[in-house]
């Protein structure tokens, strides 16, 4: 009889179903229950994320699309390129698994979650203050529209990501989900940068930083339930 190598002092090795029976039972259950292959999962991921990004693009275009004025074109390019580089970096760390099925270590994810809004905000302020008048107060633009636009742009890709990874994280589902939220928020920041000319710091905090933080928190709350490994 095939035996699993359990404890060397196993006093009841003969109890219960034999290990050969257990093996046969597990293999039979797996055979009875179809599971998608890598190719099928890849196709599903491309479809879901493609649709989610298309929805975000349509929302952006419906909202008015690219609106550089009254900013100098160079400022728009600087802020967008810098924030895009940061957003890509965040996405690589948050969505990549770092050579392990268990994702990146928690300290990495914590670092990404905490540093993303800070880095994006710092970049925007640094670039804006180099251009006179671009950080002036806009009393009519407190940031609520940017807050709403950021949320609308990010929510569909974020939900898509959470759905694709649902029930799969046995180690730190909440922090993984929080990093997804930070990545979605960073991506929406880049797009909102193309639309919003306001560089006034209170506006940036409410309209640009707050949505990244809110998306991160919301995703962490959802993710602890959605991403958590489920009993088969």
**Binding residues for other proteins, per CB under 8 A?**
4-7, 9-13, 15-17, 19, 22-23, 25-27, 29-31, 33, 35-42, 97, 99-103, 105-108, 165, 168, 170-172, 229, 231-232
> CB of 175: closest distance to other proteins in angstroms?
8
Q: Which is nearer to other proteins, 107 or 132 (CB)?
A: 107
Q: Give the number of other Cβ atoms within 10 Å of residue 101's Cβ.
A: 9
Are 151 and 217 in contact by the 8 Å Cβ rule? The answer is no
How many whole angstroms separate alpha carbon 62 and alpha carbon 192? 13
Q: Which is nearer to other proteins, 73 or 101 (CB)?
A: 101
**What are the structure tokens assigned to 79, written together?**
């802020």
**What are the structure tokens assigned to 131, written together?**
């251009």
Q: Which is nearer to other proteins, 105 or 197 (CB)?
A: 105
Q: Which is nearer to other proteins, 35 or 73 (CB)?
A: 35
> CB of 167: closest distance to other proteins in angstroms?
8
Q: Which is nearer to other proteins, 1 or 31 (CB)?
A: 31
* Exposure string for 126-147, b = 16+ CB within 10 A, e = fewer: ebbeeeeebbeeeeebebeebb
> CB of 25: closest distance to other proteins in angstroms?
7
How many whole angstroms separate alpha carbon 162 and alpha carbon 180? 8
State the DSSP code for 137. -
> CB of 231: closest distance to other proteins in angstroms?
6
How many whole angstroms separate alpha carbon 121 and alpha carbon 178? 18
> CB of 166: closest distance to other proteins in angstroms?
10
> CB of 68: closest distance to other proteins in angstroms?
40
Q: Which is nearer to other proteins, 19 or 81 (CB)?
A: 19
Cis check: omega of the bond before 84, within 30 degrees of 0? no
């Amino acid at each position: 009889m095939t035996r699993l190598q359990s404890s060397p002092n196993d006093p009841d090795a003969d109890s219960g179903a034999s290990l050969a029976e257990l093996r046969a039972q597990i293999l039979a259950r797996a055979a009875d229950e179809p599971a998608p292959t890598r190719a099928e999962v890849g196709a599903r991921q491309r479809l879901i994320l493609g649709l989610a990004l298309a929805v975000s693009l349509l929302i952006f275009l419906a909202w008015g699309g690219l609106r550089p004025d009254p900013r100098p074109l160079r400022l728009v390019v600087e802020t967008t390129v810098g924030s895009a580089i940061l957003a890509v970096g965040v996405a690589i760390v948050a969505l990549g698994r770092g050579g392990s099925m268990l994702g990146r270590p928690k300290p990495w994810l914590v670092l990404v979650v905490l540093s993303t809004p800070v880095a994006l905000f710092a970049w925007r302020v640094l670039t804006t203050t180099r251009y006179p008048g671009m950080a002036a107060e806009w009393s009519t633009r407190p940031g609520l529209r940017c807050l709403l636009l950021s949320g609308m742009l990010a929510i569909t890709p974020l939900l898509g990501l959470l759905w694709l990874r649902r029930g799969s994280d046995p180690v730190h589902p909440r922090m993984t989900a929080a990093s997804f939220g930070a990545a979605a928020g960073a991506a929406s920041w880049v797009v909102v940068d193309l639309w919003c000319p306001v560089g006034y710091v209170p506006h940036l905090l409410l309209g640009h930083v707050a949505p990244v933080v809110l998306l991160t928190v919301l995703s962490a709350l959802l993710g602890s339930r959605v991403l958590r490994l489920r009993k088969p």
